A = this chain, B = another copy of it.
Amino acid sequence: MGIRIPVFFRDLMSRIMTKPLAREERKKQLLDAAITCFGQKGYHATQISDIIETAGVARGTFYLYFQGKREIFDYVMTELFGQVQKEIKTIPKEALSEIPNQIRGNIKRVLTLLMNNPLLAKILMSESVGLDEELDSRLRTFYNHILNYIRRGLNQGQEMGFVREGHIEIMAVSLLGCMKEVLYQHLLGTEKATPDEMTEEIYRMVIGAVQKQ
């Protein structure tokens, strides 16, 4: 299985020339490989072999950094959640006139991030429901963060008189759904619009859906 000499050479080189990778670096290397693999094939279809091949690391090494497949998937999720959340900025209360642009900005940043990281998007959209209880709850938590952000916006809007009365909860969920679905169909290849088009249209939908008449 495979060519032996190159392995030896790679090894030889790495032993002579480089100090062992710092623990965090090596972990990141594996994490990146895992994101690639999970994104391409999904959790179940991804094998440890895929990850270590992508990372260029021996089988045993993997288990020096992660307890197993489930754990690295956990780490992947956490990493991705973090990336998305970084893009969402709370709208400051005082910048009243700026609200439309802020909302637009948030929508656009998240869409752009996800459209540029299809793997990330794919994992967020499609995986993990039903994998097991613990992961489901992690996903729930993630979307709750986002929903909270939307809820706060809607409440604020109501106070300020922009947003019509109504079931805030359902409104928030619906708005989240708009964005997820546009993204999802984009992943499926159904939808070919640009981030700007998508942002603008979603913005108009969102505004229309919740504004006072």
Find out whether the CB atom of B182 lies under 8 angstroms from the CB atom of A180.
no
Tell me whether A88 is interfacial, beta carbon within 8 Å. Answer: no
Query: Which among A28-36, A70-78, A95-103, A193-201 touches the partner chain?
Result: A193-201
Residues of A within 8 A of B (CB): 1, 4, 7-8, 11-12, 15-16, 19-20, 40-42, 44-45, 64, 122, 125-127, 129-132, 136, 139-140, 143-144, 147, 164, 166-167, 169-171, 173-182, 184-185, 187-191, 193, 197-198, 201-202, 204-206, 208-211
Contact of A174 (CB < 8 Å), options: B143, B178, B188: B178
- What residues of chain B lie closer than 8 Å to A12, measured between beta carbons? 8, 12
- What residues of chain B lie closer than 8 Å to A136, measured between beta carbons? 188
Cross-chain pairs A/B with CB under 8 angstroms, 21 sampled: A4-B19, A8-B16, A42-B129, A126-B126, A126-B130, A129-B188, A143-B190, A166-B204, A169-B191, A169-B193, A170-B182, A170-B191, A170-B198, A170-B205, A173-B185, A174-B201, A176-B181, A180-B181, A204-B209, A206-B209, A208-B208
Q: Is the interface of A mostly helix, strand, loop or mixed?
A: helix
Find out whether the CB atom of B190 lies under 8 angstroms from the CB atom of A181.
no
Q: Pick the most buried of A1, A129, A144, A197: most chain B CB atoms within 10 A of its CB.
A: A129
CA distance A144 to B176 in the complex (A): 21
Apart from A147-B185, A181-B181, list 4 A-B contacts with CB within 8 A: A8-B12, A170-B182, A170-B198, A177-B179
Find out whether the CB atom of B130 lies under 8 angstroms from the CB atom of A201.
no
- What residues of chain B lie closer than 8 Å to A170, measured between beta carbons? 182, 191, 193, 197-198, 201-202, 205
Please provide the 6 A-B residue pairs with the shortest distance between their CB atoms, ordered closest to farther: A177-B181, A42-B130, A126-B129, A177-B177, A174-B178, A209-B209
- What residues of chain B lie closer than 8 Å to A210, measured between beta carbons? 205, 208
Known: A136-B188, A179-B177. A205 touches B201 (CB 8 A): no
CA distance A187 to B40 in the complex (A): 26
